């Protein structure tokens, strides 16, 4: 099984058959449309701005920059104020809960747009840049937090999706009820806010064993490259 990540788990939840084509048989690439390419380009510009590097910001995207500037300014003030700030941070853990290198991890890895640890190391902040209208799933922030446990511990997080096209932010408070997602038993998560996430992780692990990947039609069928009767619908 390849390590879980927020994006591949989201793809599995959307359509297991499509996940299989991308990550198991590797017969298709992750689909990319114009909106995704724009999102990647803006992520790259925001990464450079947060790192205080020169940015060749596209003229037609100045509205995004104007909206994000106060957040970028706050991130710079945190850096000046002694916070540990990681931009485009790659965090990875093994199934035994130990910290792992990105390519060595056997359980979980997540790329985090901005992660900031307080000088007292007792709380942390996360930001995720979002283009377009597709809503973020707060499970992404739980996965980010689980992937940071070996580095920062199971501290509380405040996390924000920054919907820069919609000019709004959405805040989530993240508290981990356990430290290692790989080892958690059913009694730990049944009925908790983490139930959908842990069930998805459990189902994905089982699918790698049983090789059962059902087709699940969804709005992504329009861009899907799989050989599937729902493709393009």
CB half-sphere exposure, 57, CA atoms < 13 A? 16
In this chain, which stretch among 95-103, 165-173, 201-209, 210-218 interacts with ligand SF4, using CB under 6 A?
210-218
Quick check: 199 binds ligand SF4 (CB under 6 A)? no
Q: How many whole angstroms separate alpha carbon 194 and alpha carbon 143?
A: 10
Long-range contacts of 166-170 (CB under 8 A, 24+ apart): 166/133, 167/67, 169/71, 170/136
Q: How many whole angstroms separate alpha carbon 111 and alpha carbon 90?
A: 5
Closer by beta carbon to ligand SF4, 20 or else 94: 20
* Residues in a beta bridge with 230: none
Quick check: 23 binds ligand SF4 (CB under 6 A)? no
Quick check: 130 binds ligand SF4 (CB under 6 A)? no
Size of the site for ligand SF4 (CB under 6 A): 14
Closer by beta carbon to ligand SF4, 24 or else 228: 228
Closer by beta carbon to ligand SF4, 31 or else 138: 31
Quick check: 67 binds ligand SF4 (CB under 6 A)? no
Quick check: 8 binds ligand SF4 (CB under 6 A)? no
Q: How many whole angstroms separate alpha carbon 93 and alpha carbon 100?
A: 5
Of 133-162, binders to ligand SF4 (CB under 6 A) are none
Quick check: 207 binds ligand SF4 (CB under 6 A)? no
Q: How many whole angstroms separate alpha carbon 128 and alpha carbon 170?
A: 10
Neighbours of 117 (CB within 10 A): 21
Quick check: 216 binds ligand SF4 (CB under 6 A)? yes
Quick check: 31 binds ligand SF4 (CB under 6 A)? no
Quick check: 208 binds ligand SF4 (CB under 6 A)? no
CB 182 within 8 A of CB 147: no
Interface residue with ligand SF4 among 15, 71, 145, 204 (CB under 6 A) is: 15
CB 39 within 8 A of CB 162: no
Binding residues (CB under 6 A) for ligand SF4: these are 15, 17-18, 215-218, 220-221, 224, 226, 228, 230-231
């Amino acid at each position: 099984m390849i390590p879980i990540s927020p994006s591949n788990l989201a793809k599995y939840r959307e359509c297991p058959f499509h996940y299989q084509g991308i990550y198991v048989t590797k017969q298709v690439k992750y689909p990319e449309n114009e909106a995704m390419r724009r999102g990647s380009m803006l992520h790259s510009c925001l990464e450079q701005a947060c790192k205080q590097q020169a940015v060749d910001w596209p003229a037609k995207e100045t509205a995004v920059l104007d909206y994000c500037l106060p957040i970028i300014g706050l991130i710079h003030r945190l850096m000046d104020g002694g916070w540990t700030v990681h931009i485009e941070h790659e965090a990875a853990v093994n199934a035994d809960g130990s910290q792992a290198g990105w390519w060595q991890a056997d359980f979980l890895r997540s790329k985090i747009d901005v992660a900031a640890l307080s000088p007292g190391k007792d709380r942390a902040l996360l930001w995720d840049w979002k283009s377009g209208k597709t809503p973020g799933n707060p499970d992404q922030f739980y996965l980010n937090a689980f992937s940071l446990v070996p580095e920062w511990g199971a501290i509380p997080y405040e996390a924000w999706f920054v919907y820069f096209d919609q000019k709004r932010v959405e805040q989530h408070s993240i508290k981990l009820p356990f430290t290692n997602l790989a080892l958690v038993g059913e009694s730990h998560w049944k009925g908790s806010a983490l139930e959908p996430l842990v069930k998805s992780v459990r189902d994905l692990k089982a699918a790698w064993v049983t090789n059962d990947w059902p087709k699940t039609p969804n709005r992504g069928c329009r861009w899907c490259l799989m050989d599937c009767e729902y493709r393009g619908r």
